[in-house]
A = this chain, B = another copy of it.
């Protein structure tokens, strides 16, 4: 196996396990045995478990941003493209591997003073808010420039609430209610 392939395999395996079972509950031994690699190989690619955690967050986020962009742009222009993020979430929720937001999960597990992980997570969330901002300016003509930031944040908050609560309750009414609410505020 190529060098970069091994690294990807580690990231994918660790991501699957971290997301499914939690960061603290997933041991290095579990990762290597699942990935079918040796421990020294893992530590040849990552200098610590925390470094794998960062790679996990980045991996999840880049897939997510890509998927959301693809999904929304496949919808007809206008309000529909904005509301599409909730339809995307509905699909995400129905997936058997759905386990809520990886950022919230990770923040809940790491010590409060871990600035490195926290900074990465805040960065990711801001990139998502930026995506929503772009969706707004591209699709909602009647929204003034000065309102975009606030509106993007509100939609973001609705989305995040829906992710967490649909996961907690294991039901999809949080998605439906927030989509309904979003529809109200963009009309």
A residues with CB within 8 A of B: 20-22, 24-25, 99-100, 103-105, 107-109, 111-112, 121-122, 125, 150, 153-154, 156-158, 160-162, 164-165, 167-169, 173-174, 177-178, 180-181, 184-185
- In contact, B161 and A164 (Cβ under 8 angstroms): yes
Can you list 14 contacts pairing A with B, beta carbon distance less than 8 Å? Answer: A21-B111, A21-B112, A24-B24, A24-B109, A25-B111, A107-B167, A121-B168, A122-B168, A125-B165, A150-B177, A154-B177, A154-B180, A160-B161, A181-B185
Q: How far is the CA of A153 from the CA of B162 in the complex (A)?
A: 11
Q: How far is the CA of A68 from the CA of B132 in the complex (A)?
A: 33
Residues of B within 8 A of A161 (CB): 157-158, 160-161, 164
The 5 closest A-B pairs by CB, nearest first: A161-B161, A108-B108, A105-B108, A157-B161, A24-B24
- In contact, B168 and A103 (Cβ under 8 angstroms): yes
Q: Is the interface of A mostly helix, strand, loop or mixed?
A: helix
Residues of B within 8 A of A22 (CB): 24, 108-109, 111
Copies per complex of this chain: 2
Min CB–CB distance A23 → chain B (angstroms): 9
